[in-house]
Chains A and B, each alone.
Chain A
Amino acid sequence: MNKNKEQLLNKRYKAEKRFRLYGQGAIFMALLFLTIFIFKIFSTGYSAFQKTWLIVPVTFDAELMMLEQNPSKEDLKDADYYDIALKSMADLDPNANEDQENELKRMVSYFFEREIKRELLNDPSLIGKTKDVYLTASDDLDQVFKGNYPRDLPEDQRRVTDYQLKIFDQLVELGKVESKFNLSFFTYPDSREAELAGIASSFMGSIFSILVCLMIAFPVAVLAAIYLEEFAPKNRFTDFIEVNINNLAAVPSIVFGLLGLGILLAVFQLPRSTPLVGGITLSLMTLPTIIIACRASLKAVPPSIREAALAMGASKMQTTMHHTVPLSMPGTLSGTIIGLAQALGETAPLILIGMVAFVNTIPGSPLDPAASLPVQIYIWAESAERGFVEKVSACIMVLLGFLIIMNLFAQIIRHKFEKKWS
């Protein structure tokens, strides 16, 4: 009998040990996947924060720029920079033939003309002189310099020619190639050229969408939750509403996109591809999340507080607004932020309402066409150029950073306000 008991006890201890092992294994797996994911994204993406520049001597020849004597500021703006830009690239190899001159031109971005113009506008005294100017390298040479380009491929299988590589290697040897922090990744809008593409338009698009979403979803959801939880009679009809709100939270996001397309764009004729429409569509998605969070935190307010207020002669409205709602706010706010974080990462509905369009301007208001960060990831991931690969990862890093900050904020709100009184 005693021995039996001992065996049973041992069995129970063993079961507990096994269970702990399963749990630790599960956590280990989760951490492993997360590490692999983050490592992959960082190792591909970190190079996008660096940009390669060619340092090219440019001669600001007044004649080639069609400038008269003592030009005014306006004249400088209207001047023709294409010829001196072309010439400075061609001068890199004095023996180049016409084809090779063309290849030389393609070693830098098509923006090179404007980069030279900016230099002169900053310092008009440069006319007639020669100065080393930083020109953005083409995306392929950028990748070559970063070591991401398969140089060993036969020439007809790559976009960089042997000639371009030869000149580039010479420049590298002369120290005329430099890598600097890629500020334009944050300040430029999207572009077809990887070396010029930035996240400014999609970042602003995301911000505007989230703001529109917040301004619509938060008040509507909080009012709905307060009414349902505190004022509405509990009957079949309100049960039905509650079931439907929960169902709404489970509707695939693409369906909301179709709704936005069919109603906001087709019926109300709102401007296509704008954060306004995106924000409204996302708010439909966020609405049930906030309602559920707000109701849960209202429910968590102890009934004794409501009774205390009512017994003091507070009206229902005063009880709700003075006591219940303030006490439920931490939960509601953190639910809201989590809902917004979901909306921030949403792609499918935005694609349907046209925020997938190529936008090369930075939106200044929710009524301007824009992309959003997750859609930008989608657009770049579809692009063929090698230069976009690292951009995709870099954009994911920005989006993840954004999400982490929002979730952190939600945690802080919950912690700070919950601790205060207990």
Chain B
Amino acid sequence: MIKINSKNVDVYYGKKQALFNINLDIEENQVTALIGPSGCGKSTFLRCLNRMNDVIDICRVKGQIIINDFDINDKSCDVVRLREKIGMVFQKPNPFPKTIYENISYGPTIHGMAQSKNEMDEIVETSLKKAALWEEVKDRLHEPGTGLSGGQQQRLCIARAISVKPEVILMDEPCSALDPIATAQIEELIDELKKDHTIIIVTHSMAQAARVSQNTGFFHLGELIEHGSTDKIFKNPENKKTQDYITGRFG
């Protein structure tokens, strides 16, 4: 089933066009990897999906992105509610400089998802368990989240993102600041999370894309060159450029 349907998406930074006519469908409860060389627009596209590009003054987005039969670029779309449905994990772990507990409880608090302290405790526990962090931090929930290691911080950010039960989780190179062991943990986690969430991950590592994703889109110079199942893209790409990138001839 198709979760996100983007039609003719163009993005401009001032006068410079960053994305050209992107048409990409995202499958529900699967992992979609976006790959491509630096500056190809894959992160820009990812940020279109939860309207994070609004933050950038000079950025303009054209075209339709349809999630649940609803165009998120429409004027009637409420960004706050959209971002409740679509969580995001960033390249560098960015926990709030608050306690581990407060990091998780922030989203449910502002969206009014817990009626009592007990309910909140439960949300915090399940989120941390889902992010495979519970065992490591259950005794120090009230210590600063910034005191954790890099990999733990990133899992904390994932726990924070899933605390509001989003339908989609966007991940912008979530492992680029982590060591191989932490990366393996996160990849395992992604596999687990796709049962409940649709996941879109931007990655520089083709090996990672091959390991975690079911679908892959290849971006180059602002264009979506090719997309399809990961198997097909990696084993039997249609486009010459895709082939060159996959085999490491450029990028």
Which residues of A approach B to under 8 Å, CB–CB?
Answer: 233-234, 302, 304-315, 318, 322-323, 327, 420-422
Q: Is the CB of B96 within 8 A of A315?
A: no
The CB with the most chain A CB atoms within 10 A, among B52, B96, B111, is that of: B96
Contact A313 B83, CB 8 Å, known A304-B92, A307-B90, A307-B94: yes
Q: Is the CB of B164 within 8 A of A313?
A: yes
**Among B80, B90, B110, B111, contact of A308 (Cβ-Cβ < 8 Å):** B90
Bound CA span A384–B96, Å: 63
Bound CA span A306–B55, Å: 10
* Cβ–Cβ < 8 Å partners of B144 in chain A: 420-421
Number of B interface residues at 8 Å Cβ cutoff, please give it.
27
* Cβ–Cβ < 8 Å partners of A305 in chain B: 94, 96-97
Contact A313 B107, CB 8 Å, known A307-B94, A308-B90: yes
**Among B50, B97, B111, contact of A311 (Cβ-Cβ < 8 Å):** B50
Q: Is the CB of B110 within 8 A of A314?
A: yes
* Cβ–Cβ < 8 Å partners of A422 in chain B: 97, 146
Bound CA span A421–B107, Å: 20
Bound CA span A421–B164, Å: 25
The answer to whether the Cβ of B202 comes within 8 Å of any Cβ in the partner chain is no
The answer to whether the Cβ of B88 comes within 8 Å of any Cβ in the partner chain is yes
Instruction: Please list 22 pairs of residues, one from A and one from B, whose beta carbons are closer than 8 Å in the complex, sorted by A's number.
Output: A233-B57, A304-B92, A306-B55, A307-B52, A307-B55, A307-B90, A307-B94, A308-B96, A311-B50, A311-B52, A311-B87, A311-B90, A312-B106, A312-B160, A312-B164, A313-B111, A314-B106, A315-B80, A323-B96, A327-B97, A421-B97, A421-B146
Bound CA span A327–B96, Å: 10
The answer to whether the Cβ of B246 comes within 8 Å of any Cβ in the partner chain is no
The CB with the most chain A CB atoms within 10 A, among B80, B90, B157, is that of: B80
Sort A-B residue pairs by CB-CB distance and give the 9 closest, nearest first. Answer: A304-B94, A421-B97, A311-B88, A313-B83, A313-B84, A312-B107, A308-B94, A313-B80, A315-B80
Q: Is the CB of A304 within 8 A of B90?
A: yes
Contact A310 B90, CB 8 Å, known A233-B57, A234-B57, A327-B97: no
**Among A304, A307, A318, contact of B110 (Cβ-Cβ < 8 Å):** A318
Contact A313 B110, CB 8 Å, known A308-B94, A323-B96: yes
